[in-house]
Structure 1
Amino acid sequence: MAPMGIRLSPLGVAVFCLVGVGILYHLYAEVISSRLAAFRRKKNIDVRELLAASVEAAVLGGKEVKKVRAENSLKEKSKGKTKEGANELLTLGDLLSHRKMYNLLRNTFPEVTVISEEHDNLVDQAAVWSRVIPAEILDKIEGGKEVPAERVTVWIDPLDATQEYTENLVKYVTTMVCVAVDGKPVIGVIHQPFTGFTAWALVHQGSNMSVRSAYSVSPPKVIVSRSHSGKVRSYIHDAFGNSTAIIQAGGAGGHMTSLKGEDIDYSGTPLTKGGLVASVSVDHKAILGRLPNWDPDQQ
């Protein structure tokens, strides 16, 4: 007896294939749907993590700035004139700091808009946040507070005070990060590469800096940019009077010592006790000479 078999006509084969596709569709429709939903789901960003990553970006950018200055390989060139007529410079320090800061933040938070003062097409996939949150941030900032990624804009300045940087006036040089949510700044980070100090703050949550809530100075003192002052001087005099003291400064720097005139150790050990004195564009020693002795053990 000949073996029995099943033969399908071309029409039968087509029907079988269609049925098979239908079965596969029903089997995987739920999986596909759930994955598409996850893809469309809005990404939230933990604000404390964003602060920690911003601090790390500013610090790593600062290392690039410091390295270029130490090697004296600035390779400076002009980006053109500012509105005030000043020559706007770009150095290798600006560029390398930009690459480190921009790529670290962009790779860590790809859904967030990151805007830098500088522009460069080099993509560094290896630049990502270490996922380490500094102890002082853990201590002062509560975790678990999230915002939708599409509401966040990160602004970075890879090297502030470039003019002073080229003149080796490194005390003025900083790297900075500002994070805005819905167009309002909520995170600020200022790092001084040549001292190692980093100031940061998160609105309504905490900061590593002490801030006075109110103050009164008469006549007032105003700090203006050393290289981009423009018409600020006449504007300030018109607003506050000719007796207003106007101080020129570059970037966000300043001179800071202990009450005894000792340089501050930013390595973390030992802790500085006995108070601090900060000044910008004034005779720092003269100020120290007028300060009385103070016992840090007294309240």
Structure 2
Amino acid sequence: MALTMTDVDRFESSRPRLEAIAYRLLGSASEAEDAVQETYLRWQATDTDRIEVPEAWLTKVLTNLCLNQLTSARARRETYVGEWLPEPLLAGDPMLGPADSAERRESVSYAVLALLERLTPSERAVYVLREAFDYPHREIAGILDLTEAASQQIYHRAKKHVAEGRARAEVDEAAARRIIEEFLAAATSGRTEPLVRLLTEDAVAVGDGGGKVPARARAFEGAVAVATFMRGLFKPGPAQRALAGGPVDLYLTSANGGPALVAVVGGRVFGVMCLEITDEGIAAFRNQVNPDKLERATRQWAATDHGTPLLRLF
């Protein structure tokens, strides 16, 4: 069915919100774009004159497409090579969506996106719609074909799971920058002890290479193990140079609203290290090096001014 210009404009005005919802649900920008495009095709095929509230209709279609995708993604991730991490979005990416409240900013943080992987698809959908987009439970119930009471129960359960994984308070931007600069000085010193002092006792380091870039199949756990890994990671050597394919420039920026180190080789984003920095120290390093998950970051990097690097490696 041919859409009128009014129908097209209605959809396009909703696209940013739909993409932001889909990204939070799927943890993948490319999959989010596909889900939104499929939503457009269904919008195109329906009789839009019979749709009373286009925003609600589009949100329902998109959310259910994402739920189907999440169900199949769980099966795919069982055979994924190594750890699976979300696709990072650099500062300024419109897919990050609204950031006008602490809850909305936290809902797209890399740490929370990683935690959302532990939820069931329905828990994830309710949490995202309520926490990040402030949908009332009455509307969420209609989108997911639930009762309002069930939506409330699922939300409280999901929020509890996320809160349990976010027990420590994070520091402000200025403090985070100072700690990252101290971390880089310690990591390049060749000594483990200064690194250990900057980490929490239960610190973790996780890498996602997707079988295309070497990354440990399981996370490093504990301050000493993480510090030892970081010391080796930042130590120049033939293996690192061969893997990177050239000098690596490290930039301090923001990804998913939190502090991140971006490794750039010849204008291409080679890796994004998202740091979880708490008032007790650095609690987590989540390193995305799967090139398939860095294509959008590379495009955005090329289109923005990013200043001078903090450090050049190798």
TM-score, normalisation: structure 2: 0.22
Q: Which has the higher contact order (CA 8 A, sep 6+)?
A: 2
The structure whose residues are more often strand, as a share, is 1
TM-score by length of 1: 0.23
Which has the larger share of helix?
A: 2
**Rg comparison, structure with higher value:** 1
